[in-house]
Amino acid sequence: MSLQLGDALREGARNLRSRTGAVLLGTYVALMGAFLTVSNTLIAALYRTVGLAEVADALPLVLDVPLAVAGGGYLLGIVVATYHSLVAIRTFVADAGDSFPAGALTRNVPLAILNVLVGGIVYGLLVTVGTIALVVPGVVAYVAFLFMLPYIAVEDRNFVGALRSSYRLSKGHWPMLFALVVIVVSAASLLGGVVGLLSALALPPAVGQVAIVVVQAPASLYTVAVVAAAFNQLRDSETDPSGAVPAAETPSTPA
């Protein structure tokens, strides 16, 4: 069965409008707002270390903390954002609109976060090298390994097994997956660009940055919801009538 773009887009929107989607969205907006402050603080601290105090003073939403504290806060923010992505993808894949599914917040969290972080670096390198090589391989790598996160979060795969399974599941659907990504990313970029321009023209810097976060957070979480919907579509199409998952999909031992 080919990927149904409209179904994936509608399913993503439905999950985002659910009770759990609202909780995830609220916490994600707060998280991104805090991460924005930490990021600005880190950048300002780095500017000051190289003698660019005037540039640092011009940045909004900056805390008066040492560079080490800002750096530690930034790393912590990455870990917390990764945890939020794990919970979100588990919830959306389970289609749990009323309450979070069992284990979504607690199951295998440290190991899953480690695999997502390391796998994300590998994923990024594959896309970057492919793009530098000939552009098209980079696009293929992006869509071929798009389901790495769901496999790690939902099936407790290690990142190697997740990349391998994502490649196998997505193979034959790359054009449709690329189209799906283009639709979601283009819409989010257009909305973010409009808000960013209006913010730059009409709002103070601090308020403008907050406005961008308020717009980007739902767009980012909607992308996660759409990926979860596409993952469910393709994975369900491989399930035989008895509901058994093919032997090749037996979860591997987490790394």
**Cα–Cα distance between 239 and 65 in angstroms, integer?**
53
pLDDT for residue 214 is more than 70? yes
> Can you tell me which residue has the tokens 């929107």?
13
Of the pLDDT bands very low, low, confident and very high (cuts 50, 70, 90), residue 7 is: very high
Average pLDDT of the chain, as a whole number: 89
Residue 255: the pLDDT is 41
Q: Other C-beta atoms within 10 Å of 97: how many?
A: 16
Mean pLDDT over residues 45-72, rounded?
92
Identify whether the C-beta of residue 110 lies closer than 8 Å to the C-beta of residue 76. Answer: no
Identify whether the C-beta of residue 92 lies closer than 8 Å to the C-beta of residue 229. Answer: yes
pLDDT for residue 4 is more than 50? yes
pLDDT tens digits, residue range 80-138? 999 999 999 999 999 999 999 999 999 999 999 999 999 999 999 999 998 887 778 88
Mean pLDDT over residues 15-26, rounded?
96
Distances (CA, A) of 230 to 69, 158, 244: 40, 21, 19
Query: What pTM was computed for the model?
Result: 0.87
Of the pLDDT bands very low, low, confident and very high (cuts 50, 70, 90), residue 199 is: confident
pLDDT for residue 179 is more than 50? yes
DSSP 83-135: HHHHHHHHHHHTT-SSSPPTTTTTTTHHHHHHHHHHHHHHHHHHHHHHHHHHS
Mean pLDDT over residues 215-233, rounded?
94
pLDDT for residue 218 is more than 80? yes
Residue 185: the pLDDT is 87
Residue 1: the pLDDT is 65
pLDDT for residue 249 is more than 70? no
**Cα–Cα distance between 140 and 167 in angstroms, integer?**
10
